[in-house]
Amino acid sequence: MRLGNLKINNNSKTFIIAEIGINHGGSYKNCIKLISAAAKSGADAVKIQLVNRNESYQKGSSSFEIFNKKTFSLTVLKKIKKFCNKKKIIFFATPGDISSLFTLIKLKTPVIKISSGLMNNFPMIDLCIKKKIPIIISTGLATIKDLKDLKKFLNKKKFKNFSILKCTSEYPAQAHNLDLGGIKNLIFFFKCIVGYSDHYLGHTASLVAVMNGAKIIEKHFTLNKNLKGADHHISLEPKEFKTMVLEIRNLEKVLKYGCARKIDNNIKENRSMLRKLVVIKNIKKGDVINFNNIGFQRLKKKQLSLDPANFFYIKNKKSRVNLKKDTVISKRQLRSI
């Protein structure tokens, strides 16, 4: 997946998103504080939710009340984006409706997030595709049929610049509903970068997701999880978020090389622990080479020597020379035996 100059692939670091959502409470000042804290905590990007409540929700619904005065005008969004550029952190949003999407298109965000509640809103996804905007799609409410329909639609549009997020649309999500092993299934099914949108308390699930192949982590972010409303209670505070980022970065070091084994210099030094062929009993000319007179020892100093696998070349052969005990077998000795 490509976001401007940024590439997210199997060899890149995990793309970590601080999901501010509407935890800013509709306050520009609060939003700036959250962005600043997220940048200090190591997030690669911050994301908010942009919703025209009259377009997204019916009057009288809980969401209609929750999203009251929780959005920003294009003018304010431009100021927020400018601040993010200064902090060197990517800014984007989840549009809740078509008018909000058009606002983000005008803002020229590098990516659009499609929430789980909109993952079957193909008209909205189609608008992103026509504008050639990368999209990240959450699948927390998806059935198998929904996933098949989404794949079919994306294939029909021949659109490749997207990623899928494993998600459990439960707040907070329960452990038995996470199914993080399913990340691998999504990678196989969509043949794309897959990430994880985390609603589980703490950050353990995010670490497990990375271990299962997630290359994007989205985690709710707040300055104080005890605040009322929105998603504060399932969010991480700055110190917690920073801990998660550091642990993910350490995990990346652990997982870095995959099947291709690259030897670090410190490990190279410790290869002296490998055993070598050594004469453990005086060998006379004509003696048969076997385990009684050849052993495998760690040497006290670096010297020309052979690995144990070379024992098979001389096993059960009669020695053509005399060899003293403690002789380290080199290529020269091997040829003379």
Number of structural domains (the chain) is 2
24 within domain boundaries: yes
| SS3 assignment, position 235 | coil
Helix axes 28-40, 238-255, angle to 10 degrees: 40
* Tokens matching residue 92: 């984007």
> Which domain-ending residue is among 255, 276, 307?
255
Give Cβ neighbours of residue 300 (< 8 Å, ≥ 6 apart). none
Quote the CA–CA distance of 128 and 132 in Å, as a whole number. Answer: 6
Question: Is 1 among the domain residues?
Answer: no
Same domain, 127 and 241: yes
Residue 48, pLDDT score? 97
Please give the helix or strand (H or E) that residue 86 lies within, else none.
helix 74-87
CATH number at residue 185: 3.20.20.70
For residues 28 and 109, state if they share a domain: yes
Q: Do the domain assignments include residue 210?
A: yes
- Going residue by residue through the chain, which has 337 residues, state the pLDDT in tens, using 9 for 90 and above: 898 889 999 889 999 999 999 999 999 999 999 999 999 999 999 999 999 998 988 898 888 988 888 999 999 999 999 999 999 999 999 999 999 999 999 999 999 999 999 999 999 999 999 999 999 999 999 999 999 999 999 999 999 999 999 999 999 999 999 999 999 999 999 999 999 999 999 999 999 999 999 999 999 999 999 998 779 999 999 999 999 999 999 999 888 755 555 667 777 788 888 999 999 999 999 999 999 999 999 998 888 889 999 999 999 999 999 999 999 999 888 888 8
Same domain, 207 and 155: yes
- Under 8 Å between Cβ of 1 and 193: yes
Same domain for 122 and 48: yes
Type of residue found at 120: N
CATH code, domain carrying 300: 3.90.1210.10
Which of 231, 255, 279 is the last residue in one of the domains?
255
In a domain, 5, yes or no: no
- Say if residue 330 is in the same domain as residue 201: no
Q: Which single residue is written with the structure tokens 């983000």?
A: 104
Paired residues of 163 in beta bridges: 136, 193
C-alpha closest to that of 197 among 148, 234, 242, 159: 234
Residue 271 CA to residue 116 CA, distance in Å, equals 51
Residues spanned by the domain of 281: 265-336
- Omega before 238 cis (within 30°)? no
Tell whether 231 and 289 lie within a shared domain.
Answer: no
Domain end, chosen from 222, 255, 288, is at 255
